[in-house]
Amino acid sequence: MPDLITTVKIVPRSPQNTAEMETLFDEMAASAVKGPGVRLWAYFGGDDGSYRLLERFENPEAEMYRLTHLDQEKLGRLAELAEFRDLEVLGETTPELETALADFSPVYRQYLTGVL
């Protein structure tokens, strides 16, 4: 089974928020890589001032572990500073993971073919 990949666009509510957001990204990434089954946790900056979080997990259970161990205080602060948009989940999921992500209205895409 291919890895599970999630991606979400993160848009600052104000350009003045970017420095604090990038600090939060660093702190959250440092703790994310310690989780079991985390293969990639990376933030990318966009020309439009937005960011894109790309996460890659060994399986849906690894993402559930990450979700349940995410620093809620940091996530809450990030939500105050930015909007989360366009969540996509690529690969097989579980009902538990879909329930956990439901508030973000994700688009789910199933693996079809490729080189793994």
43 bridge partner residues: 53
7 bridge partner residues: 54, 88
Give the residue from 30, 14, 35 showing the smallest Cα distance to 80.
14
Mean pLDDT across the stretch 22-38? Answer: 87
The domains of the chain are located at 4-109
> Which architecture does CATH list for 4-109?
2-Layer Sandwich (3.30)
Mean pLDDT across the stretch 53-66? Answer: 94
pTM (two decimals): 0.89
Tokens found for residue 71: 């620093």
What local confidence, expressed as pLDDT, does residue 32 receive? 78
What local confidence, expressed as pLDDT, does residue 44 receive? 96
Q: DSSP class of residue 46?
A: -
Q: How far apart (Å, rounded) are the C-alpha atoms in residues 102 and 36? A: 23
Q: Over the chain, what is the mean pLDDT?
A: 93
What local confidence, expressed as pLDDT, does residue 116 receive? 65
